[in-house]
Structure 1
Amino acid sequence: MTPPPEELVRPGECHVWTARAVSVRASGAPALLKLLDAGERARYEAFLRDEPRGLYLTAHALLRDLVGAQLDLDPAEPSFAAVCRTCTSGGHGKPVLPGSPLHLSLSHAGDQVAVALTYAGPVGVDIEEIGRVGDPPLTVLSAEERAAYDRLPAGERAGGFTRYWARKEAVLKATGDGLSVDPALLTVSAPDAPAALLSWAERAQPHPPVRLYDVPAPDDYAAAVAVLGDGCRVVRHEVAYDGDGVLRRPRRAGDGVLRRPRRAGD
């Protein structure tokens, strides 16, 4: 894949790509499957249903396409590792590219996937489908967040909770903690305010400064990206795979710049 110059990640930038999952019901998307390594293909085959297979395949093929383009490699060439802070069993955890300064993260929900790449620091991206679950698990909200949530009009609560959750997941992915940390310990800004990590209970300084950004997402989805370190320019791209496995760019989805995001303790 030869990307336009504006799709190459430069220092001080974080790029986020979103795409709709391919269907694997008919042919199994062989052009994308051939990009995966043996371990990825085994995990793909382990899914019992077509929908999660399509999400997994799209996310990992897109990650390979983007990393290959960024590093001028064949997409099948990069060798990824998964790092989990809470165990050593391997095969799961935050994806890393050993020996490279490029940081990466991926997420999927509903029929959408998201991939983030940056040189700015450890990164976490999360995309969530609004209203995917019935009654949201409000215990993941801090007291401050719950108070703001309760003030929302009934028709805005599903979207508000999903934005809270996407922001928290993005932070926990960036730090590498994942859900080993109770999300209620984090307090992020209210859904109608610019994204920010306001506090992290029980951790005075758990990591470098957290830069948290909302990411434009398709209708009925919320997405966020967190980067540890200096502030950066966030650029979002919307792409799609066609039937022959070629990555298309139907339109430039836009970008956003948050030069002075808030951090815990500001």
Structure 2
Amino acid sequence: MSPDPAVGDADSAGIALVGPGECHIWSAEARWAPELLDVLDERERERCAQFRHEGARALYLTAHVLARRTVGVQLGVDPRDVVFVPVCKNCRRPQDPPHGKPTLPGTPLELSLSHSGTRAMVALTTVGPVGVDIEEIAARAGLPLDVLSAAERAELDRLPEAAWPPAFIRYWARKEAVLKATGDGLMVDPALLTVTGPDAPARLVEWRERPEPHLPVRLEDLAAGDGYRAAVAVVGDGDRVQVVRQSDVRV
């Protein structure tokens, strides 16, 4: 699937309406513009200010403004009026401070956002819980190979070592997308999940120790640009989910 710049049914910012059975993905390049802080709520502005480096602040700002604008178009409201309620499925007590996956109570929309390097990405659907993950392929001293299942590690071992970083990041983006969709996050050991090899179409093959109802999961790789890998996962009947549109926008 490739980015679709021609969005005839979109608003002027390139944000289309999400139809039944569809999952839309938007991405944006990070930029710092102080006036965009007015789009965030007080909690988001406080969180943004906590980042010490301007690049990290710009990335957080871009991701959250992108999320607010895409949701605002769907609901027909000003982005400033969008209310996100973080929900952590692993917390049994009131969350202080609030944290977890952002939800949109009172609407049929399911949301996920991710950011890495200088790129932000947002996914929206009404089909079921969604998770999106974008990861920069960055040089690092060592890869945390313990997050791979035995089958994934065997597949990686067949590749030349120079191909390991992009292959590993492909695995990681897919796993992270699934864990974000189910709301488990890294409270679940990623090695319990097995996804298809990096050169094969994305698919969740196995989740040890996890029965239904979290399966089936529709999993797809996304176009993320040079130096990045990305994936989206939607919990529900895979035959009913169509990842129909991926667009780049400027916040």
State how far apart, in whole Å, the 2-side matches of 1:3 and 1:119 are.
23
Percent of paired sites with the same residue: 58
- Matches of 2:234 and 2:111 in 1, distance apart? 10
**Is the contact made by 2:30 and 2:119 (CA closer than 8 Å) also made in structure 1?**
yes
**Residues 128-187 of structure 1, C-alpha deviations (whole Å, 9 max, x = no match):** 001353311000000000000111122221110000000000000000000000000000
Question: Paired residue for 1:210?
Answer: 217
Partners of 2:37 and 2:122 in 1: how far apart? 18
1:50 paired with 2:54, answer yes
Q: What SS does the aligned partner of 2:231 have?
A: strand
Change beyond 3 A, Cα 1:40–1:4: closer
Question: Relative contact order (C-alpha < 8 Å, sep 6+): which is higher?
Answer: 2
Kindly provide the amino acid, as one letter, of the partner of residue 237 in structure 1.
S
1:178 aligns with 2:185: yes
In the alignment, is the contact (CA less than 8 A) between 1:126 and 1:169 conserved in 2? Answer: yes
Query: Among residues 15, 31, 34, which one is paired with 1:30 in the alignment?
Result: 34
Alpha-carbon separation, structure 1, partners of 2:227 and 2:43 = 32
Output the CA distance in 2 between the equivalents of 1:33 and 1:54. 10
- What secondary structure is seen at the aligned counterpart in 1 of 2:220? strand
Q: Is the 8 A contact 1:3 1:69 kept in 2?
A: no
Alpha-carbon separation, structure 2, partners of 1:150 and 1:5: 42
What's the secondary structure of 2:81's corresponding residue? Answer: coil
**Per-residue Cα deviation, 1:70-96 (whole angstroms, up to 9, x for no partner):** 111001001111011112424221010
> Does 1:233 find its partner at 2:233?
no
Runs of 4+ in 1 over 3 A off after TM superposition: 3-6
Please give the alpha-carbon distance, in whole angstroms, between the structure 2 residues aligned to 1:214 and 1:178.
19
Aligned length: 236
Alpha-carbon RMSD across the aligned residues, in angstroms, is 1.6
Q: Which residue of 2 aligns with 1:122?
A: 129
Map of 1:19 onto structure 2: 28
Residue 157 of structure 1 pairs with residue 164 of structure 2: yes
Return the alpha-carbon distance in structure 1 between the equivalents of residues 204 and 123 of structure 2.
19
Deviation of residue 56 (structure 1)? 0.7
Aligned equivalent of 1:141, options 136, 148, 159: 148
Q: Which amino acid aligns with 2:140?
A: V
Deviation at 1:31, TM superposition (A): 2.6
TM-score by length of 1: 0.85
What is the one-letter code of the residue matched to 2:57?
R
Runs (5+) with no aligned partner, structure 1: 24-28, 242-266
Conservation of the 8 A alpha-carbon contact between 2:110 and 2:128: yes
| 8 Å contact from structure 1 (residues 131, 162) kept in 2 | no
Secondary structure of the equivalent of 1:167? helix
Q: Partners of 1:42 and 1:144 in 2: how far apart?
A: 43
